[in-house]
Amino acid sequence: MNSQVALSLLEVLQMIGFVAFVTLWIEAYLYTHFHYSKKSWFFPAMLAAVPLGVLLLVVVAIGPALNARQAVNIFLYALLAESALAVFFRFKADKKLALPYMLIMPGFVGLALLIAYPLVFEVYLAFHDLKLTTLKTWSETGYLPFVNFEHFYNVFTKSPLSEVSFWQLLGRTLWWTVVNVFFHVLGGLGLALLLNNEIKLRGIYRTLLIIPWAMPQVVAVLAMKGEFHSEYGFVNIMIGRLVDAFPFLASMGMHKVQWLSQHPFLTCTIVNVWLGIPFMMVVILGGLQSIPKSYYEAASIDGASRWQKFRHITLPLLRPVLAPAVTLGTVWTFNNINVIYLVTGQSGGTEDADILVSALYKAAFSFNRFSYSAAFAIVIFLLLFAISMLWLKFSKGTESAYD
């Protein structure tokens, strides 16, 4: 056990060293290119140094597994790329832009690496036909039949599961997103406002209230799902006892409900709302805490009521923090597989709870329809992108509140 700990610490050291190394490499590159691009020695120095630098980076990353021919190839490609880039920097670079680019580049390089290749791969798959019967030829020869837009056509016309159509799924997904985000923000706002008062035990309340977020999602969802069981779940048992105690409720239509089989969508929504409120609460609380008390005091002196204070001070100043949270919350809710999959996953007859992504997941992995699911994923992505662009334009989310 001790040697394992030592080994893992060594690996941590390696990891830190590597990340620092790469970051500094990027920063050094940007710094020299922005600041020294007008100097006379710029071209020769860069053309010599950068390809060597790239080579060093690759050696450090891949290790001694590199052979001489590959090394020469890498050197030459880097030389080519650098000549183009050096020219670009010489004529276009503005010293003032150095700092912002240096600040964002490490993150974006990581993103590009991790997202770009998989995306390109998925696009490739979507236009070809990778499925169970073509898998063998593909892994042996690398050949895949090209099918134009056929998969995209299928996405819109055929059902991904048994009978539910793409349009039904889309409508349900939109409704799911709107309802969930609405209640998330409402609940989060309410709880944050309550917590913003200086009352005793505030820290304890805060910690207890974030438990749904802190718990592993799978476990939390399974526990909540159990509560909705028609015989042995807390909800129905309570309903049963209430109806026994107050018989008039039965005549009003209150009775035990088969939540999971008859109302799966409602059950999923309740579970997801419960799960998502703490996150909104924390974000809004952070925003509330940054609003200076002096504003409220000034407003009180002017005779403003509670509601006016809320509307004219709190809401506008919350917007810069709320806007990203709501935007991202919307995106995440739209693409939330976990809750629906875990609550309905294994039982049949519940296609009416599926949203786009959960149907996609169920369809993709059941039948090895890799290309079809790649096309489906791209469609969902473009849809979501279009919706978000509209929303952003509408809410001007990229500006700050003080502008």
Partner 1 sequence: MGKKIILQFCLALVAFSLAACLRPPGGKIDSNTLVVWEQEDGFIAPFLDSIFNNFKKLPGNEKVRIQRVHYHMEDLRQQFQTASIAGSPPDMIITPPDVAGVFAVSGFILPLNGLFDFSRYDEQALVPVTMDGKIWGVPSSMGNHLMLLYNKRLVKNIPQSTDELFKSCAELSRDKNLSYCMAYDMNEPFWLIPWLTAYGGWPLDGKKPALNTPAMLAAVKFYLNLRYERKLVPMECDYNCMDSLFKEEKVAFIINGDWSLADYKSRFGENLGVGRIPKLSETGRWPSPMFGGKDIMLSSKLRGEKLELAKRLTVFFTNDENQLRQARELYRIPAIKGMKNSPELRKDPLLRGSIEQQEVATPMPMATELRAFWDSGRHYLGMITQRKTTPEDGLKRMQADCEAKIQEMMR
Partner 2 sequence: MTDPRCCRRKWGKLAVHAALVLACIVNIYPLLRIISISLRPGNRLISTDLALIPAEATFMSYVNVVKDTNFLIWLWNSLIITAGTSLIGVILASTAGYAFSRFKFPGNKLGLTLLLGTQMIPAGMLLLPLFLMVMKMGLINTYLGMVIAYSVSSLPFSIWILKGYYDTVPRSLEEAAMVDGTTRIGAFYRVVLPLSTPALAIAFLFNFTAAWNEYLVARVILSNSTKYTWPLGLFELQGQFITQWGMFAAGSVLITIPVLLVFLYSSKWLVSGLTLGSVKG
Task: Considering only residues 286 through 325, tell me which ones interact with partner 2, judged by CB under 8 A.
Answer: 286-294, 296, 300, 306-307, 309-310, 313-314, 317, 320-321, 323-325
* Cβ-based neighbours of 128, under 8 Å, separated by 6 or more: 144, 145, 146, 147, 371
Binding mask 109-128 for partner 1 (x = CB under 8 A): --------------------
- d(CA 132, CA 83) in angstroms, rounded, equals 46
**Sole window of 115-123, 197-205, 265-273, 367-375 interacting with partner 1 (rule: CB under 8 A):** 367-375
Phi/psi at 305 (nearest 5 deg)? -85, 170
Q: 52 or 114, CB closer to partner 2?
A: 114
Chain centroid, CA 10 distance in Å: 31
Sorted by sequence, the CB contacts under 8 Å of residue 202 that are 6+ apart come out as 195
**76 contact choice in partner 2, partner 1, none (CB below 5 to 8 Å, kind-dependent):** none
Name which position in 159, 165, 168, 335 contacts partner 2 (CB under 8 A). 335
Rounded Cα distance, 119 and 114, in Å:
9
* Structural contact between residues 169 and 335, judged by C-beta atoms closer than 8 angstroms: no
**What is the Cα–Cα distance from 71 to 5, expressed in whole angstroms?**
35
The correct pick among 79, 147, 215, 239 for binding partner 2 (CB under 8 A) is 215
Cα 189 from chain centre: 22
Binding of partner 1 by 7 (CB under 8 A): yes
**Whose structure tokens read 């309905």?**
344
Asked if 3 touches partner 2 (CB under 8 A), the answer is no
CA dist 17 and 81 (Å) reads 27
Nearer to partner 2, 171 or 226 (CB): 226
Q: Are 31 and 98 in contact (CB under 8 A)?
A: yes
**Beta strand residue intervals within 101-209, DSSP E:** none
Stretch that binds partner 1, among 104-112, 275-283, 291-299, 360-368 (CB under 8 A): 360-368
Q: Tell which positions 300-359 bind partner 1, by CB under 8 A.
A: 346-351
Nearer to partner 2, 86 or 93 (CB): 93
Give the residue, chosen from 260, 353, 357, 378, that forms a contact with partner 1 under the rule CB under 8 A. 260
Site for partner 2 in 146-185 (CB under 8 A): none
Contact positions with partner 1 (CB under 8 A) in 18-47: 18, 20-21, 24-25, 27-28, 31, 35
Of residues 65-94, which lie at the interface with partner 1 (CB under 8 A)? none
CA atoms within 13 A on the CB side of 22: 15
Contact indicator for 222, 342 with CB cutoff of 8 Å: yes
Report the interface residues with partner 1, using CB under 8 A. Answer: 7, 10-11, 13-14, 16-18, 20-21, 24-25, 27-28, 31, 35, 60, 63, 131-133, 135-136, 138-140, 161-163, 229-232, 258, 260-262, 346-351, 365-369, 372
